[in-house]
A and B are shown apart, each in its own frame.
Chain A
Amino acid sequence: MNECARLALVLAALTTGSTWAGPFDVLLGRAPPVPQTAQEAFGLRVVGSGPEARLELDIARGHYLYRDRLSARVVGGEAELTLRLPPGDRTHDESFGITEVYRGRVEVPTTLPAGADAVEVNYQGCVEGRLCYPPARRVLTVEPS
């Protein structure tokens, strides 16, 4: 195999099968793949139990979630869970003033009551500078840590 063919194979291996665009996508002039739905764009998990529980956010590149629009409650319960929200990225928006948003991976500690096995999470997010997904609610099964 000559050097060109080997390089082509390496490039192909590096640029296929990945979910998000990498530097090779840019070099090859590909449009970065973008999630097609809010469910794909905003990965959510609830992990652990009691005071060690946490909500894990895995936000696709080029997307953000509003910190103040994140809430959760145990399915079947009335009271909202207290989410110990870490600071987000502060951005100035002409319409909303200073807002905090989350990008990338974020862990939000919380405390789950005994026996909680499913949590309902409300969230709302956007694609940077382009469009917003509507407010959404997702029911998540609590996973062991």
Chain B
Amino acid sequence: MRAVVGALALAAALGAGAGLQRWLNDGGGAFAAPEGGPYARPEFRLPDLDDGRERSIAEWDGQRIVLNFWASWCAPCLEEMPMFVRLQDRYGDQGVQFLGVAMDQPEPARQMAERLKLNYPSLVGELDAMQVASAFGNSQGVLPYTVLIDADGQVQATHAGLVDGADLERWLEED
């Protein structure tokens, strides 16, 4: 555990994430487009929380992805995840796929996913999940962190902190 915490701290110290900077500077608010505009989503592979099988984000290519980084120890994450469950139900048949990445140890994350009745897949990892978060603009590893990826695999927006549900739904309603 100590090694894991140390690794997380080291990764956290690597620098401030642009998404966090924007979020902090505007005092919260909605999703923000990446600086420099949309960009092709980074490739990554992580184990599935359910069965440990390694999965690639490419499996969901062609769908609009709401990629949410979370952890069982993160109260704001747990606060917003029931909304993601409802939105997955509502928009799942319209080509929307929520995808979690738990920056956590598998067992507590699995227990929390069961408790929250997650109806969408979640991957899991510790330092490797933090590296994925960093690749999506969250180099501090703050949670929750949510990324909107369009059906062409372009990262359209990111948000550090609790998501504004109305803002997220506006994006989900877009064609």
A-side residues, CB < 8 A to B, are 31-32, 34-39, 69, 93-96, 122, 124, 126-127, 129-138
Q: Is A137 a contact of B78 with CB atoms below 8 Å?
A: no
Contact of B5 among A34, A133, A136 (CB under 8 A): A136
Q: Is B76 a contact of A135 with CB atoms below 8 Å?
A: no
Q: What residue in chain A is nearest B7 (Cβ atoms)?
A: A137
Contact of A131 among B2, B8, B27, B142 (CB under 8 A): B142
> What separation, in Å, do the CA atoms of A88 and B73 have in the docked complex?
18
Contact of B12 among A95, A126, A136 (CB under 8 A): A136
Contact of A130 among B16, B25, B28, B78 (CB under 8 A): B28
Q: Is B162 a contact of A137 with CB atoms below 8 Å?
A: no
Contact of B73 among A32, A35, A94, A124 (CB under 8 A): A124
9 nearest CB pairs, A to B: A31-B27, A131-B161, A95-B78, A136-B9, A137-B9, A134-B141, A130-B161, A132-B74, A34-B24
Q: Is A135 a contact of B140 with CB atoms below 8 Å?
A: no
Return chain B residues, CB-CB under 8 Å to A130: 28, 76, 161-162
12 contacts between A and B (CB under 8 A): A31-B25, A34-B27, A35-B24, A37-B140, A94-B79, A95-B79, A95-B112, A131-B160, A132-B76, A133-B140, A134-B130, A135-B8
Return chain B residues, CB-CB under 8 Å to A129: 76, 162
Give the tally of cross-chain contacts (CB within 8 A): 87
Contact of B76 among A69, A131, A136 (CB under 8 A): A131
- Report the minimal beta-carbon distance from A93 to chain B, rounded to whole angstroms: 5
Return chain A residues, CB-CB under 8 Å to B12: 37-38, 133-134, 136
Return chain B residues, CB-CB under 8 Å to A122: 2, 5
Contact of B75 among A32, A38, A96 (CB under 8 A): A96
Q: Is B161 a contact of A127 with CB atoms below 8 Å?
A: yes
Return chain B residues, CB-CB under 8 Å to A96: 75
Return chain A residues, CB-CB under 8 Å to B27: 31-32, 34
Determine if B100 is an interface residue (Cβ-Cβ < 8 Å): no
